[in-house]
Amino acid sequence: MKHPTYKTFCNCNDANSDSFADARLSERAAQDSAADCGYDTPRTVIRGESPTGEKNKSQAALTDWLNVSFPFHPENNNPLEFFKSFSEATKGILGGMTDQQRGLHGWQYSFQFDHGCVLFAYGGQNNTAFLSLPGEGCALISDWQSFAIYLRDQLRARITRWDGAVDDFNGVHSVDMAIEFYMQGHFKHGGREPKLTQRGNWIKPDGSGRSVYVGNRKNGKLIRIYEKGKQLGDPSSPWVRWEVELHAKDRVIPWEVLLHPGEYVAGAYPCLSWVSDRVSRINTIKEQDRISYERLKQVASTAYGALLNVMLQREGSAELIVEQLKRHAIPRRLAATDHYLRTKGKSDEI
């Protein structure tokens, strides 16, 4: 089956802006919604992960990954219709949608948007479709309330994966503290000790970054704590990220996680009660961009610094060298942050 390449941009109107508070899904309503879409009704709603109810926790984290699935019958639906509605809901910020000419996770056909590494797939899987927004894609969503309404009411989707992230730029809550929390039993639920995995050089930390994983993705719940700044290439960065990853395994992930991510991160484990300060996504993007930019300069200096020195002697002009070497492109490592800062950098939305 041959699919066209969708590069059409549409005129976008604001999505439904009715108060989401009036349309929130309770535990029972969320289960009914899943059942109406033909899914097996889960027994619980994120067991043991009730929000704290404190208002200052509501925006203390960022949605850093979102997967949803929704009914999509080839006889009644087509990719172009989805593209048009999705582009309207996201105000066209993700650009065009291109056929990948291959399947994805068991779906027969897959497409990728120009920006944000967002993926859409359909075909098979009991007449469902799949939509995945990784961190880069989530960063481009400016109105989570309208977007959640679109996913829930128009696509009749259910959340199959959600990641909530907290960035500690000063490293107060370190990977070493995560180990202490684990030893003290603060990651336990129901008396069971979750699996612990450590990665990186813990004997003699070398600046490349260390990671702690608690839990198991197969069981539907995992937390990662890692030295984000070091991972990006700054060996002196204190930046630590705490990421809670939830999957819809024996649980319904409510739509409220998109509106109040901090509450659900804080409620995921007893040791996350410190999550309380409101965060701004732009701070995370700017820090990621800064570290990546400095790292790329180091790489360029190491790889081509000597050549540039010789070229300067021979060409006699730095401007002439730049004209000869520059390309009208953006390094892949900076593509996502550069696009965000150019399109949304003047705002301070999460």
pLDDT attached to residue 15: 37
pLDDT attached to residue 332: 80
pLDDT attached to residue 289: 81
Name the burial class of residue 301, with classes exposed (0-12), middle (13-18) and buried (19+) by CB atoms within 10 angstroms of its CB: exposed
Q: Tell whether the torsion through CA atoms of 60, 64, 68 and 74 is positive or negative.
A: positive
Q: Tell whether the torsion through CA atoms of 223, 228, 231 and 237 is positive or negative.
A: negative
**Reported confidence tier of residue 350, pLDDT bands at 50, 70, 90:** very low
Amino acid letter for position 88:
E
Residues 295-347 pLDDT 10s: 888 888 989 999 999 999 999 899 999 999 988 888 887 877 787 777 765 54
Residues 173-207 pLDDT 10s: 999 999 999 999 999 877 788 999 999 999 999 99
Short-list 87, 82, 51, CA closest to 69: 82
Mean pLDDT, the chain, rounded, equals 82
Residue 51, Cβ neighbours under 10 Å: how many? 20
Helices (H) and strands (E) in the chain, counts: 10, 10
What global pTM score does this model have? Answer: 0.73
**Reported confidence tier of residue 29, pLDDT bands at 50, 70, 90:** very low
Amino acid letter for position 132:
S
CA distance 288 to 233: 10
Question: Cα angle at 62 between 137 and 264, to 5 degrees?
Answer: 125
pLDDT at 37 over 60: no
Residues 234-285 pLDDT 10s: 999 999 999 999 999 888 899 999 999 998 999 889 899 888 755 556 566 7
pLDDT attached to residue 190: 74
Q: 3-state DSSP call for residue 281?
A: helix
- Stretch 94-112: mean pLDDT, rounded? 96
Q: How many alpha carbons fall within 13 Å on the CB side of residue 25?
A: 27
pLDDT at 26 over 70: no
Q: To the nearest whole percent, how much of the chain has pLDDT over 90?
A: 57
* φ, ψ at 236 (rounded to 5°): -100, 0
